[in-house]
A and B are shown apart, each in its own frame.
Chain A
Amino acid sequence: MEKFDFIEMTIPSKADYIGVVRLSLSGIANRIGFSFEDIEDLKVAVSEAITNAVTHAYDEEDKGEITIGFGVYDDRLEVMVADSGVSFNVDEVRRRVGPYEKSKPLEDIQEGGFGLFLIDALMDEVEIHDNSGIIIIMTKFINETGVDLDGDQISTTS
């Protein structure tokens, strides 16, 4: 298997700590060499995933935890957001997610208004797995040419 560094954070399932994750994410993405624009996209996408987890995962009495995993590769950053509150083994999670067609298509998951839509628009690959708790795995590739490649429905006009 391809070698990569893995960084894991666990936060209480509260909106209070989303900003803390964004700060860590900025640092990690900056270390990999992402552009300022891509780092901003990553910040929004990851915050949306955590916001979803905070809003939907737990009932009031048991707030639980959210685990965020950063897979640092040479050419990409893979971010996993899991609301099960259980620390996860990255290989195990990747095995469970399996081929893409087994994952739920994004359109079938009706949560959080624009949140998932933005994740899909801002990241290059998104997988959602909802077996025991929802796990969102999203990947952004480093754009070496400096040209915005992820322009599926995004056009930047000014």
Chain B
Amino acid sequence: MDLQIKHTEKNEQTIISLSGEIDAYTVTKLKETFSTTMNSEGKDVIVDLEEVTYMDSTGLGVFVSALKTAKENDGELKLVNVQDRVYRLFQITGLNEIMDVNKAAIRGVNE
């Protein structure tokens, strides 16, 4: 019932690996992480959700606002390794149409 956040810098990319549950309680921590990592120009942020076992609309909200920040700063936001159950929420809400959400890993994230 907690959320672990690991944060690594690699070349021009920031990789945020999440593990645990994202709900109204744990989302505060995630918001802080995004607000400190996403404020520089042209940064690409990859969020690895492989270990996220539960997420609800509070998570969707944070990713939407992180995407807005990324766009404002000419950066990108990618979600990778999204579990089926979590991916389903992006599908139901249609957010998978506007966000880069991937069920599979992209190169270099899961070494």
Contacts and interface: CB of A to CB of B under 8 A. Distances in A.
Contacts of A112: 57
Nearest to A20: B1
Interface of A: 15-16, 18-20, 22-23, 37, 40, 43-44, 47-48, 50-51, 54-55, 112-115, 117-118, 121-122, 153-156, 158
B57 to A, nearest CB: 4
A142 to B, nearest CB: 19
Given A18-B24, A19-B25, A54-B24, A154 B92 contact: yes
Contact of B57 (A15, A20, A37, A114): A114
25 contacts: A15-B24, A18-B23, A18-B25, A19-B23, A19-B25, A22-B1, A23-B1, A40-B54, A44-B54, A44-B89, A47-B56, A48-B57, A112-B57, A113-B61, A114-B57, A114-B60, A114-B93, A115-B57, A118-B57, A118-B89, A122-B92, A154-B88, A154-B91, A154-B92, A158-B103
A113 B1 CA distance: 23
A51 B85 CA distance: 19
B23 A47 contact: yes
Nearest to A37: B85
B58 interface: yes
Interface residues of B, number: 19
A121 to B, nearest CB: 5
**Lowest 4 CB-CB distances: which A-B pairs, in order?**
A19-B1, A15-B24, A114-B57, A15-B25
A117 B24 CA distance: 16
A23 B53 CA distance: 13
B51 to A, nearest CB: 16
B21 to A, nearest CB: 6
B58 A51 contact: yes
